[in-house]
Structure 1
């Protein structure tokens, strides 16, 4: 049986009405896993070991941006009953929709590359599994997680949340034993750069934190799960979702901050650590084998969970923009191919992770701009339309992201 993406039986819908807003925690936490994927490990470890606490402010600002963006995505799904790609298909010209679909597929490939490579690295660190075999195992586990949706949404969401907790435990242990420097951490909240390399890393961190596929995913998960009979009910769901997004994104942000802090406190001083394998070895040498083990387990949980979420997002992109639905196993195989090629060619896996995050940063405006355009329209959103100040802040966020991407292009080409 093919795993179901959004559809829900009337019996499950009835339970959602009885249980009230509590089930909304599911979409928020499923989306949060996208913000602690293996790409975050690579960029935050590189940033912390190279620049210390300098780029703490990037993690904080990116997370605040993510809260707003995910809230708007969830709101669009609740208000319209459609995913963002479906809204684009309905309101934009055909050529524009096809272009957005094309870049969405590139984003999906970059996303899957990061998740599969991250899982493969973790399996090699833990069990000395060859990278190519580890990539295949990661893909298989991810598909198994998606298959849980045949039993309804909750088993899948519980599994993803459980993996999120594994990551949290690993990070919490490491940060508590890292010798955190509070004054340096506070100083790192002051926005600044030190050379072009820090700008490049900041763009990668932004790409790893504000995820295009998470924008597509969150609205889709909220759009078809709930019976929305009145606008008052939609307003109630939105109020609950606002809290849920803040909770889930705060947890994800603290995880990213913990990873950078550990790298800055433990791995900075000698030669910069630019690989996940180097970070694992450095943690083991400085904090002991338990810290290294929990780091690798957190990476493995991240790879498994985020790979399944990435595949789900890719199907949402194709189904929404084109009204084309293919079996998830086919989708999994298509998205898996580039990652397996990278692993088979022996490309440095950490470098591949960082590059994938830079690619993702280019996809953010193509998801964010349509999201803002739709959520500011009363004819689309009804009473859930953005307030003027919300739209203004959202446009400011989009401007910052686009400006950073243009800077990244300039630094890459010069």
Structure 2
């Protein structure tokens, strides 16, 4: 029986900046070791309580009371199983789902799967945008369209949070989950639902055909495809012993992590449904299907002005927590499928714009009442992509060639395929019903043909995804490398530097820059001393500036040049104006320097936006070695 692949076989692991950053192998108490594993599933769980779930839970509770609680429980059990399989893939093989797909499927199919995953992430982000915008509107009376535009500012929060270590990020997400849970359970205490009636909701039955449709919506909104990509990467943030005992321990503790976190998500969803049942269903307001309606009815029905405020706060926390994990999922998908790594801020901006633009267009044209339709659309899109994540996942964790003794046992494998078939059937049914409804209502022949062609393409792609792994002898056809492997070359001697450029800012950092310059040079080296004046006058007048700062900087630069000449070294001073990075790069290139030495600015995050990033700009615009002091 073959052993599972070692993590060291992946040259560039998933979420490399936090890969194995939490060491679970250190000696310590039993509880400390257990809690070291806890965290990844909480980041995943926020996808199970995002604003897209709120609409289905509120509709189910207001129309059918507690009747559909069993559907929530069943979908939660399915989610626990699938997320556990996702964690197993990451722990045993050291692959996230996108990386594993790239290794198995051909390039063309991989690209299609990548596009579907990106569409699903954008659809999930759409629900988060709308949820946060609704929350802002309800709490602060901000127009919905304005609220949608405000959500673009959360890219600044992502910029700040991405600097954190994974444990701090996990604690931040857990704090948002706590806000959601506490807010909803206070409202439950106000509503005082009957425990016996709640218990009756766990008896499986469906009153009518419409209840089946809502049940399908609840299940479709619960199991999120991007969470399967996310979980398989997050578990790799834990450093574990790679022997059999260490892997089994990691599997058990991650299952416990998933079980607790996802059941907390179930309690949040159940609280929403029970709240809707206790407040709306019992008072005859069975038509409540939108979040705004629920908000406005809470205060008169509960007789407490605090109820709608807590509802709005929980909604905003739900949207914000989901948007953070959605960004991480997008990074995993792009790197895994395309072997492409881009700036996280740019990645976040693209994803957010894909959500904001359609929301702005539809709200501008159709008005605020179109928000409910947009939320439903986002869930349908998620349903369409779910099958393409579940099918490969079960194949991977069942494969004994790559998973070894950690491959799924036959009973668990049968259960996994049963869950997959149920979910795929329900989601395919939802897609078919949506397409059929469009065909019946639409008067456009082109639209009907496009809908039929889209549905047929969806079914063909689903069959290919399902059948392709069956004909393969191995589920690993090619290795995964984010960058092309390089052949080691002999170490070549470095020629002496003839001209060394120094970027000086006339601060205490100059001493270190000068010291490194002397260490890298020789008696024949010429030193190019650069300083950029950034006064208001310099920004406007450039070289014509003659303010006090320009004069003092010219004198300081001349003093540095004299110091070099006193040591019998050749030196030249160049004073530039206005833009640091641009001017330093221009002078270095024009003077044909061999080496550039400059100081780090010592700030990051929000300060980069305020003060700018000189080092990053310069290193991308020069073609010589850059030494950062």
TM range (shorter): over 0.9
Name the counterpart of 1:126: 139
Out of 107, 111, 121, the residue aligned to residue 108 of structure 1 is 121
Contact 1:196/1:411 (8 A) holds in 2: no
Name the counterpart of 2:63: 50
Name the counterpart of 2:335: 319
Report the alpha carbon displacement of residue 227 of structure 1 after superposing the two structures with TM: 4.2
Matches of 1:151 and 1:406, distance apart in 2:
40
Does residue 355 of the first structure (1) align with residue 377 of the second (2)?
A: yes
Name the counterpart of 1:226: 239
Matches of 2:419 and 2:48, distance apart in 1:
17
TM-score where L is the length of structure 1: 0.93
- C-alpha change, 1:259 and 1:178, in structure 2 (3 Å) is same
Map Cα deviations across residues 368-390 of structure 1 (whole Å, 9 max, x no partner). 11111000112222332111111
Name the counterpart of 1:170: 183
Report the alpha carbon displacement of residue 244 of structure 1 after superposing the two structures with TM: 1.0
Q: Structure 1 residues 320-329 or 27-36, which shifts more?
A: 320-329
Name the counterpart of 2:491: none
- C-alpha change, 1:378 and 1:61, in structure 2 (3 Å) is same
Matches of 1:382 and 1:264, distance apart in 2:
48
Q: Which has the higher strand share?
A: 2
Report the alpha carbon displacement of residue 15 of structure 1 after superposing the two structures with TM: 6.6
- C-alpha change, 1:371 and 1:25, in structure 2 (3 Å) is same
- C-alpha change, 1:135 and 1:264, in structure 2 (3 Å) is same
Report the alpha carbon displacement of residue 104 of structure 1 after superposing the two structures with TM: 0.6
**RMSD of aligned alpha carbons:** 2.0
Q: How does 1:261-410 map to 2 (within 5 A)?
A: 261-268=274-281, 269-287=284-302, 288-344=304-360, 345-346=362-363, 348-410=370-432
Out of 62, 74, 83, the residue aligned to residue 96 of structure 2 is 83
Rg comparison, structure with higher value: 2
Q: How does 1:238-253 map to 2 (within 5 A)?
A: 238-253=251-266
Matches of 1:101 and 1:31, distance apart in 2:
20
Report the alpha carbon displacement of residue 394 of structure 1 after superposing the two structures with TM: 0.6
Consecutive aligned runs of 4 or more in structure 1 exceeding 6 Å deviation = none
- C-alpha change, 1:374 and 1:154, in structure 2 (3 Å) is same
Contact 1:203/1:361 (8 A) holds in 2: no
- C-alpha change, 1:235 and 1:188, in structure 2 (3 Å) is same
Matches of 1:256 and 1:196, distance apart in 2:
22
- C-alpha change, 1:396 and 1:271, in structure 2 (3 Å) is closer
Name the counterpart of 1:62: 75
Report the alpha carbon displacement of residue 136 of structure 1 after superposing the two structures with TM: 3.8
Matches of 2:379 and 2:433, distance apart in 1:
16
Matches of 1:303 and 1:202, distance apart in 2:
23
Report the alpha carbon displacement of residue 335 of structure 1 after superposing the two structures with TM: 1.6
Higher relative contact order (CA 8 A, sep 6+): 1
| Count of aligned residue pairs for this structure pair | 410
Map Cα deviations across residues 201-229 of structure 1 (whole Å, 9 max, x no partner). 22221122111111110111112432443
Matches of 1:182 and 1:350, distance apart in 2:
31
- C-alpha change, 1:161 and 1:136, in structure 2 (3 Å) is farther
Report the alpha carbon displacement of residue 295 of structure 1 after superposing the two structures with TM: 0.9
Report the alpha carbon displacement of residue 146 of structure 1 after superposing the two structures with TM: 5.8
- C-alpha change, 1:75 and 1:9, in structure 2 (3 Å) is closer
Matches of 2:371 and 2:16, distance apart in 1:
33
Name the counterpart of 2:598: none
Report the alpha carbon displacement of residue 358 of structure 1 after superposing the two structures with TM: 2.4
Q: Structure 1 residues 342-351 or 277-286, which shifts more?
A: 342-351
Matches of 1:210 and 1:389, distance apart in 2:
22
Which SS does the other structure have where 2:206 is aligned?
Answer: coil
- C-alpha change, 1:13 and 1:168, in structure 2 (3 Å) is closer
Q: Structure 1 residues 225-234 or 235-244, which shifts more?
A: 225-234
Contact 1:7/1:225 (8 A) holds in 2: no
Report the alpha carbon displacement of residue 71 of structure 1 after superposing the two structures with TM: 0.8
Map Cα deviations across residues 214-256 of structure 1 (whole Å, 9 max, x no partner). 1110111112432443232111111111111111011000110
Q: Structure 1 residues 13-22 or 354-363, which shifts more?
A: 13-22
Does residue 182 of the first structure (1) align with residue 195 of the second (2)?
A: yes
Report the alpha carbon displacement of residue 88 of structure 1 after superposing the two structures with TM: 0.6
- C-alpha change, 1:366 and 1:228, in structure 2 (3 Å) is farther
Contact 2:220/2:427 (8 A) holds in 1: no
Map Cα deviations across residues 59-92 of structure 1 (whole Å, 9 max, x no partner). 0100000111111111111111110110110122
Contact 1:81/1:223 (8 A) holds in 2: yes
Which SS does the other structure have where 2:90 is aligned?
Answer: helix
Does residue 73 of the first structure (1) align with residue 86 of the second (2)?
A: yes
* Residue segments in structure 1 that go unaligned for 5+ positions in a row: none
Which SS does the other structure have where 1:154 is aligned?
Answer: helix
* Residue segments in structure 2 that go unaligned for 5+ positions in a row: 1-13, 438-629
Name the counterpart of 2:556: none
- C-alpha change, 1:54 and 1:243, in structure 2 (3 Å) is same
Contact 1:203/1:358 (8 A) holds in 2: no
